[in-house]
Structure 1
Amino acid sequence: MRRQKKFYAWGYADEDLSADEIKPWEAELAERYRVPGFDVTPAPKPEEITLRKPRVEVPSALQSIVQTDHLTRLEHSYGKAGFDTWRMFMRSVPNPPDAVAFPENEQDIVRVLDWCDSIGAKAIPYGGGSSVVKGIEPQASFDKVVTISMRHMDKILEVDEVSQAARIQGGIYGPAIEDALRNTPLTMRHYMQAYRCSTLGGWIATRSGGHYATLYTHIDDFVESTRMITPAGALETRRLPGSGAGPSPDRMVLGSEGILGIITEAWVRLRMKPTFRSSASVRFKDFFTGAEAVRGITQAGLYPANCRLLEAREALPGIPWINEEAVLVLAFESADHPLDAWMKRALEICADHGGVADQSDPDDANAHRSGAAGAWRNRFIRAPHYGEHAVARGILSSTFETAMTWERVPDFHAKITKITRDTIKRVTGREGTVTCRFTHVYPDGPCLYFTFGGMLDKAKGLEQFMEVLSTCTVATVEHGGTTTHHHAVGRFHRPFYDKQRPELFARALRGAKRELDPKGMMNPGVLIDP
């Protein structure tokens, strides 16, 4: 039996935070934002939300794989961003899909797309539903909408242990990949915060960023070949370790966000399961001192698996909010060789910048779960579950991420931080908070991941939330960064992406869409207008 997800927030319906997690979190935020307590809005129930009737009639030949019931349509209406949860708590779902298809093979996808074509419906591909950018959300302008869920196309079809790769269907969830590889020496190890509730096809379509902080940062680095069903036919690329034969067709599939077709399977690179690990946490007097150490590590070509620089007040329990320290979570892993030399050199670089290390026992396989690294890891894993509780209490809590080259990081960080603080004060009338961390780092710059918070007026909470988030996001582009490093474009980032993307490239992308999706039925409004 399929485990039911929450339709209104992150995670599964049978899980939630415990009282022991909620109480100290509430107390911490009440003190931080100087409020006596919180009025808690109950989570919505399906029957409290009215959906318009389906505007399509499912033909008898498709009724076994197409559903139009209330809960299924509700579950596929929004993603899992903070603004999605706000709207669910408002019991407002004005534009649900009319039907949801669950194809079991490629021929089913073709049949569903032919049906969409015949009735003039838009088709929205759906993986795990973890989008935080309105990537799977029907627009009000759509007359008819069929969401196509890849839930049943979730198998590993082949494993090539010689070349260390696997052919995997697009609808498989992250944990199922590792479960299927459990009896092999191989692993994919592409983890992200949405790992449990997202799919391989979704990762490829949105160019997801995984847990590797260096070298293998995006799903791009794992893809060997792809297969996509488009309204014009099947597009399958040749499986190769590399090729210089013209522009890569896989690069057109990667990041296509459902506007060209549905990713049904891919060959992805695997690696041997790591047997050697070395981890440490390093304290720095402030964030920019730590940033210089991180730059030194990345430019030394050491390629740690984890190299995340965090503001201590964001990452560690019990740190006063006025504390300016930063902590670097550092880890190396290998299936081939000990890592002492790599860690030693990285810590030397940290020491050159005043970093004080707390290195783990090299023989402790669970060292990454303890100390500063463990505290951050636990907060990171549990963080999405707090989203619905923040909304229920009128707490402003969200993030945005971008990237910048090293020489511009201090100025860029200062400007974006100030804009965020000023915007929260202007919109809410209260002081808010903003912190930053590096999630991925490159020799030429980091991904800066900002977290902001404050208190909203519940009566206009969604409006205030969107104004803060939009203002901060557009600022990242106006000051030279990217609108997103790994969260995809979707419909939320689309206005900012339009400012970032060269117009001539947009015209070329429209040309590709005309060839693969002649009638413009696939996920309109994402990336480009047809």
Structure 2
Amino acid sequence: MSNATLSRRPIRRFWGWGNDDAVLSAHEKSTLGTMLQALGTAYTEHPVPQLAEFVLPTPRVSPPAALVSQFSASPLDRLNHAGGKSYADCARMWLRQAPPVPDWVVYPENELAIVDILDWAQTHNVAVIPYGGGSSVCGGVEAAVGTSYAGVVSLDMERLSRVLEVDPVSRAARIQAGALGPELESQLKPHGLTLRHFPQSFEFSTLGGWIATRAGGHYATQTTHIDDFVESTRMVTPSGILQTRRLPASGAGPSPDRLVLGSEGTLGIVTEAWTRLQAPPQFRASAAVKFVDYLQAAQCVRVLAQSGLNPSNCRLLDAAETVSSGVGDGSHAILVLGFESADHPLQPWMARALELVADYGGRFDADAVARSMDGANTDEHRSGAAGAWRQAFLRMPYWRDPAVGMGVIMDTFETAVTWDRFPDFYANVKADVAHTIERVTGQEAWISCRLTHVYPDGPAPYFTFVARPADGSVASALAAWRDIKLAANAAIIDHGGTSTHHHAVGRDHRNAYEREVDPLFRAMLAAAKHRVDPHGILNPGVLFDPLHRTVGITGALAPRPKSQFSV
């Protein structure tokens, strides 16, 4: 059994976000230090986890002889596939107490290998966890499957990463599901086309992962989710291959793609998809708008969402969020507003949007807005507060890693709610979660919010919280996080939101999902799973239990004896 990884990609941190050689700049350390001062602690660096500190159990099953060269039991591969990148995933690694590790990690070379792996897994009662880029923050790829399986394998799609076909007339491409965001974009670029779906995890997430989790992208309106870009899908199940028809639209009964989208690896392995493409933008316009009153700013965003202007960026940061993003001092809310087009200049759209902004008391730098529209392909939109927010947004996961080792909880939860409920929702969710933070840590709560996506009928609020138990230990922080997460799940359902807008359900949101979704529909999904996965081997415990098996809520939020931090 070799200790060498079989991955052909750069080595990833098993204990945190990004590649193993990633470092924080001096400026980022300073920004993080300023945030931590508010918690009464200083920025310090602790020794990061090392492979040698983990003793992993011997694999319980043997791989099929014909595919053994594609199976790995190296410690690095198993630890990298033991979970995703949620706070709890990383904290357990910092504690040197890994989440349940898979017995094997398998890197199939092609679709036929996936078919053979699923046949073997059914025969030997082995659970299979589909794995794309491993960026899940909700327990979606964890090997926590209960006790009724003989073993667990993590099926990594990295070797199916090609753009197979491009249709320039219809502007679409057939792409293998294991392609990371940068990989698929680099292959589309010579064709003068782009998928242009940029979640925060873009660098470390795959097309198949986006489809399986209904991932949200960077567009704040219209094409907000990967759903809007999917033309057709292909999925390998234990009972056969499901191939949907490539069409621009159809009214032929319920859409099969809609069952694949959001299935979170419970029905099959997505191997490829046809996706809609577009020409890269040539024209951009951006503005950073300050508001004194956050709720008045939210009313402005509602009007923008209902105007038909369809801005590509319309993210509203409350005053506290501007501090954590390094774009403000906490005295104002900031709206990051943007438009882009491959076809035409954007002055009329931005001019009308700024008229609406002014109606609600928003203030902006007119000269900076004008500069952002100075001709095609300008980089001006990357400057100022809008550019600073974008850079902080992409780098925030890296800031979290050293904070975890300091016993600091830096985490988020996101949802969506209708506009009529939003003012009360915003206040009540913050109050409920703050109460739990203060109860379980003994420290004052710090919670911020931004609207990441907006629709004519409601926004998607995305909350960030930072907390630190009084003793500053990682163990206490993890125990406190569990209670805070449960409180957040309950609060968003109690006050009318969804369990997740774009992070998926996984294991960490399942208790909220079960309250949100009608039991009859969940029974329908379980029946569909039983048809394509009769032995219940695919990602058990995510969304629902397989028929005839009891898995329950496993992973970081599995029921356990109450700790001293429990509410």
TM bracket, shorter-chain basis: over 0.9
Matched with 1:288 is: 295
The question of 1:14 aligning with 2:21 is answered yes
The question of 1:375 aligning with 2:388 is answered yes
* Residue 104 (structure 1) aligned to one of 105, 109, 117: 109
- Checking the alignment, whether the CA contact within 8 Å between 1:51 and 1:94 is kept in structure 2 is no
1:341-363 CA deviation, whole Å, 9 max, x = no partner? Answer: 11111110000001112224111
User: For residues 321 and 543 of structure 2, what CA distance do their matches in structure 1 show?
Assistant: 33
User: For residues 448 and 116 of structure 2, what CA distance do their matches in structure 1 show?
Assistant: 48
User: For residues 36 and 256 of structure 2, what CA distance do their matches in structure 1 show?
Assistant: 52
Matched with 1:525 is: 541
- Checking the alignment, whether the CA contact within 8 Å between 2:421 and 2:496 is kept in structure 1 is no
SS at match of 1:163: coil
Unaligned runs of 5+ in 2: 1-7, 547-567
- Checking the alignment, whether the CA contact within 8 Å between 2:327 and 2:389 is kept in structure 1 is no
Deviation at 1:38, TM superposition (A): 5.4
User: For residues 240 and 341 of structure 1, what CA distance do their matches in structure 2 show?
Assistant: 34
The question of 1:191 aligning with 2:183 is answered no
Matched with 1:182 is: 189
**TM-score normalised by the chain length of structure 2:** 0.91
1:449-507 CA deviation, whole Å, 9 max, x = no partner? Answer: 01111212414221111111221122101111001000000011011100001001011
- Checking the alignment, whether the CA contact within 8 Å between 2:436 and 2:487 is kept in structure 1 is yes
User: For residues 519 and 31 of structure 2, what CA distance do their matches in structure 1 show?
Assistant: 49
SS at match of 1:441: strand
The question of 1:363 aligning with 2:368 is answered no
User: For residues 519 and 238 of structure 1, what CA distance do their matches in structure 2 show?
Assistant: 27
1:412-459 CA deviation, whole Å, 9 max, x = no partner? Answer: 101011112211111100102111100000000100001111212414
Matched with 1:473 is: 489
The question of 1:414 aligning with 2:420 is answered no
- Checking the alignment, whether the CA contact within 8 Å between 1:65 and 1:102 is kept in structure 2 is yes
User: For residues 264 and 327 of structure 2, what CA distance do their matches in structure 1 show?
Assistant: 40
Matched with 1:92 is: 97
- One-letter code of the match for 2:287? A
- One-letter code of the match for 1:114? D
Percent sequence identity over matched residues?
Answer: 51
* Residue 67 (structure 1) aligned to one of 29, 52, 72: 72
- Checking the alignment, whether the CA contact within 8 Å between 1:50 and 1:93 is kept in structure 2 is no
- Checking the alignment, whether the CA contact within 8 Å between 1:122 and 1:523 is kept in structure 2 is yes
How do 1:179-328 and structure 2 match up within 5 A? 179-315=186-322, 317=326, 319-321=328-330, 323=331, 325-328=332-335
CA RMSD of aligned residues (A): 1.3
- Checking the alignment, whether the CA contact within 8 Å between 1:123 and 1:522 is kept in structure 2 is yes
Deviation at 1:194, TM superposition (A): 0.3
Matched with 2:508 is: 492
- One-letter code of the match for 2:114? I
How do 1:379-418 and structure 2 match up within 5 A? 379-418=392-431
- Checking the alignment, whether the CA contact within 8 Å between 2:213 and 2:262 is kept in structure 1 is yes
Q: Is the deviation greater in 252-261 or in 471-480? A: 471-480
- Checking the alignment, whether the CA contact within 8 Å between 1:315 and 1:379 is kept in structure 2 is no
The question of 1:451 aligning with 2:464 is answered yes
Unaligned runs of 5+ in 1: none
- One-letter code of the match for 2:231? E
User: For residues 410 and 384 of structure 1, what CA distance do their matches in structure 2 show?
Assistant: 28
1:141-196 CA deviation, whole Å, 9 max, x = no partner? Answer: 24300111101000000000100000000000001111011112211110011000
Matched with 1:34 is: 40
**TM-score normalised by the chain length of structure 1:** 0.97
The question of 1:503 aligning with 2:519 is answered yes
Matched with 1:440 is: 453
1:89-131 CA deviation, whole Å, 9 max, x = no partner? Answer: 0111252100111111111001111111121100111000000
User: For residues 342 and 280 of structure 1, what CA distance do their matches in structure 2 show?
Assistant: 12
SS at match of 1:523: coil
SS at match of 1:440: strand
User: For residues 123 and 85 of structure 1, what CA distance do their matches in structure 2 show?
Assistant: 22
Do the aligned partners of residues 137 and 295 (structure 1) sit closer, same or farther apart at CA in structure 2, a change above 3 Å counting? same
SS at match of 1:131: coil
- One-letter code of the match for 2:454? V
Deviation at 1:319, TM superposition (A): 3.8
Do the aligned partners of residues 76 and 340 (structure 1) sit closer, same or farther apart at CA in structure 2, a change above 3 Å counting? same
Q: Give the paired residue count.
A: 526
Deviation at 1:229, TM superposition (A): 0.2
User: For residues 181 and 38 of structure 1, what CA distance do their matches in structure 2 show?
Assistant: 42
Q: Is the deviation greater in 277-286 or in 38-47? A: 38-47
- One-letter code of the match for 2:86? A
User: For residues 397 and 311 of structure 2, what CA distance do their matches in structure 1 show?
Assistant: 26
- One-letter code of the match for 2:106? A
User: For residues 268 and 259 of structure 2, what CA distance do their matches in structure 1 show?
Assistant: 11
Matched with 2:140 is: 135
